[in-house]
Chains A and B, each alone.
Chain A
Amino acid sequence: MRKILAVETKLYLREWPVMLYTIVLPVGLLLILGSIPDMGRPDPALGGQRVTDTQLPAMMTLLAMLTLAFTVLPTVLTTYRERGVLRRMSTTPVHPARMLAGQLLINVAVGVVSTVLVVVLGRLVLGTAMPRQPVGFVLVFLLGTAALMAMGLVIASLATSGKAASGIGSVVMFPLMFVAGMWLPREVMPQALRVFSDYSVAGPFAQAMRATWAGGWPQPLHLVVMGAALLVFGWLAVRLFRWE
């Protein structure tokens, strides 16, 4: 397993443009948008919070995780299946599930790197506080990431080609970003959209991160939605995933 991880990590790093979308873009946007003076002023619409306090860093973390779960992971796995990489591996004593596990781990690790950079650079450059409820933040991060990755695996199960996977991934990802509050914070959403947002998995993930960032605890509903998504999509992925 260590060798699979080592080789897969090397292959991942050779596809370096992926890093632009999953690390450079979210961190860069955080710093650029966060440097706009208005973003650093208390905003009555956010209940007196500054945009840079929780909204912007949570959204950039979400951007990284959505990109990893919905485009990077499904594209790699579908391409591996399409090219017969998984099929070849299934002729050896090592089941291709190890390869899948390796890919999941690597994507989570890249997500962690991106998130740590958002937290640390946010603190150093923008004066954003570190998550005030660190344990809660880590748990929310893990739960939300697991739920999104399970959804990504379902996409990898349904798509027949690498291109189809990245297509489906993008089509799912952008509406999720919107309802999660990427462009319109939850506080200013119309009521109908807010209900929608609360069940969108990405929305609960973002709001739960914001809550723990501010030092509170997430809404139980948001945790339930993420937990349920993990179970349902995890089960679907196990049922639907094809090795060839």
Chain B
Amino acid sequence: MKVIEVRNLRKSYPHHVAVEDVSFEVAEGEIFGILGPNGAGKTTTVECVAGLRVPDSGTVRVAGLDPHDDRDELRRVLGVQLQSAALPEKIKVWEALDLYASFYPHPADWEELMGRVGLREKRDTAFAKLSGGQRQRLSVALALVGRPRVAVLDELTTGLDPQARRDTWELVGQVRDSGVTIVLVTHFMEEAERLCDRLTLIDRGRVVATGTPAALVAQAGGEQRLRFRPSAPVDHALLLALPEVRSVTGGGEHLEVTGVGDLAPAVTLALAEHRIVPTDLRVEQATLDDAFLALTGRTLS
């Protein structure tokens, strides 16, 4: 079932067009990613979804609601964690949760929520004294305290260290498992690949492609590459005969094989039949970065 439907969204500011033409649908219960480089129009898109900006044209529906006309109703079903939205410096963790819970008619138990995001020990700590990761987790908790059906999380892990980032990813997974649909805005390819069920690639205000991470990689001709040192000379024709293999380059010392599908097992099996051992075997998977590059001619970062 569709929870969010965006059609031909367009939004321009006085000096530039932020969103040219964006359409996508988000299904209930999935983690949907909006991936693109900085300035691609991701934040403007979700701001229109959240009813914070009025689109110039196009339609947006969230749980059947028009974000602009049904402003109040929308805010009860949609939780939003905005990029660069802070809290007063001296507000304590519990005060922020208690305050935001009071904004909703049927809020979650914020004590329990505080435990879920791992901030119970920080209950009485002022916002200014929290680490970046703790702030983001509080931010996620505030987006969830109204028990929304959909949560929009914008640039959740920007500026976090790798450990805090992984903790936050785990939290997002748990939130989805609790039944909340998540729209995740990010410019981190790795984050999108790891978390998203489906995603849309946006570049310069337009949708480049939409689908599962694997499908997007495949659509962009997602090739895998194997490199290894054969224990004995290999006849290229032997490998080229495999349906998975597209090309073979290199000679005695190093061999490079590109292809699709179950490339690595197919190649190693064929080599084994000829009693050749591939040493120093390395597999390079195509990534969303490669897909983005193939689709737009530019890299994500």
Task: Judge: A and B partners, yes or no.
Answer: yes
Q: Which residues of A contact B (CB under 8 A)?
A: 3-4, 7, 10-11, 14-15, 80, 83-85, 87-94
Tell whether A92 pairs with B103 under 8 Å between CB atoms, given A15-B90, A84-B85. yes
Neighbour of B98 across the interface among A3, A83, A89, A90, CB < 8 A: A3
Complex contacts, A85 vs chain B, CB 8 Å: 85-88
Task: Evaluate contact between A93 and B72: CB separation under 8 angstroms.
Answer: yes
Mark interface residues in B63-103 (1 if CB within 8 Å of A CB, else 0): 00000000010011011101011111011000100111011
Return the chain A residue nearest B91 by Cβ: A11
Complex CA–CA separation, A78 to B98 (angstroms): 24
Task: Evaluate contact between B82 and A80: CB separation under 8 angstroms.
Answer: no
Q: Which residues of B contact A (CB under 8 A)?
A: 50, 52, 72, 75-76, 78-80, 82, 84-88, 90-91, 95, 98-100, 102-105, 142-143, 146
The smallest C-beta distance from A187 to any residue of chain B, in angstroms, reads 45
Tell whether A91 pairs with B84 under 8 Å between CB atoms, given A4-B99, A7-B99, A10-B95. no
Q: Which of B50, B87, B98, B105 has the most CB of A within 10 A?
A: B87
Main secondary structure of the interface of A (DSSP, over half): helix
Task: Evaluate contact between A88 and B99: CB separation under 8 angstroms.
Answer: no
Return the chain B residue nearest A13 by Cβ: B90
Task: Evaluate contact between B85 and A88: CB separation under 8 angstroms.
Answer: yes
Task: Evaluate contact between A88 and B142: CB separation under 8 angstroms.
Answer: yes
The smallest C-beta distance from B250 to any residue of chain A, in angstroms, reads 54
Complex CA–CA separation, A90 to B78 (angstroms): 12
Complex contacts, A80 vs chain B, CB 8 Å: 88
Since A83-B86, A84-B84 are in contact, a sample of 13 more A-B pairs with Cβ atoms closer than 8 Å, ordered by chain A residue number, is A3-B99, A7-B95, A11-B91, A83-B85, A84-B82, A87-B82, A88-B87, A91-B85, A92-B100, A92-B104, A93-B75, A93-B76, A94-B103
Return the chain B residue nearest A87 by Cβ: B85
Complex CA–CA separation, A26 to B237 (angstroms): 94
Complex CA–CA separation, A10 to B99 (angstroms): 12
Complex CA–CA separation, A87 to B83 (angstroms): 10
Complex contacts, A11 vs chain B, CB 8 Å: 88, 90-91
Complex contacts, B80 vs chain A, CB 8 Å: 91
Neighbour of B82 across the interface among A7, A10, A88, A93, CB < 8 A: A88
The smallest C-beta distance from B50 to any residue of chain A, in angstroms, reads 6
The smallest C-beta distance from B198 to any residue of chain A, in angstroms, reads 24
Return the chain B residue nearest A7 by Cβ: B99
Q: Which 7 pairs, one residue from A and one from B, show the smallest C-beta to C-beta distance?
A: A84-B85, A88-B85, A91-B80, A83-B86, A3-B102, A92-B103, A94-B103
Complex CA–CA separation, A86 to B231 (angstroms): 66
Complex contacts, B143 vs chain A, CB 8 Å: 91
Complex contacts, A94 vs chain B, CB 8 Å: 103
Complex contacts, B103 vs chain A, CB 8 Å: 89, 92-94
Tell whether A84 pairs with B75 under 8 Å between CB atoms, given A92-B104, A92-B146. no
Return the chain A residue nearest B96 by Cβ: A7
Task: Evaluate contact between A92 and B86: CB separation under 8 angstroms.
Answer: no
Task: Evaluate contact between B52 and A93: CB separation under 8 angstroms.
Answer: no
Tell whether A91 pairs with B75 under 8 Å between CB atoms, given A3-B99, A10-B95. yes
The smallest C-beta distance from A140 to any residue of chain B, in angstroms, reads 33
Complex CA–CA separation, A80 to B86 (angstroms): 9
The smallest C-beta distance from A204 to any residue of chain B, in angstroms, reads 35
Q: Which of A4, A7, A15 has the most CB of B within 10 A?
A: A7
Complex CA–CA separation, A134 to B285 (angstroms): 82
Complex CA–CA separation, A93 to B102 (angstroms): 10
Complex contacts, B52 vs chain A, CB 8 Å: 87, 90-91
Return the chain B residue nearest A92 by Cβ: B103
Complex contacts, B50 vs chain A, CB 8 Å: 91
Complex contacts, A89 vs chain B, CB 8 Å: 103
Complex contacts, A88 vs chain B, CB 8 Å: 82, 85-87, 142
Complex CA–CA separation, A4 to B95 (angstroms): 10
Complex CA–CA separation, A88 to B52 (angstroms): 10
Complex CA–CA separation, A10 to B87 (angstroms): 14
Neighbour of B91 across the interface among A7, A90, A93, CB < 8 A: A7
- 6 A–B contacts, CB within 8 A, in A order: A7-B91, A87-B82, A90-B52, A91-B78, A92-B104, A93-B146
The smallest C-beta distance from A104 to any residue of chain B, in angstroms, reads 16
Complex CA–CA separation, A90 to B86 (angstroms): 13
Q: Which of B79, B91, B146 has the most CB of A within 10 A?
A: B91
The smallest C-beta distance from B14 to any residue of chain A, in angstroms, reads 14
The smallest C-beta distance from A7 to any residue of chain B, in angstroms, reads 5
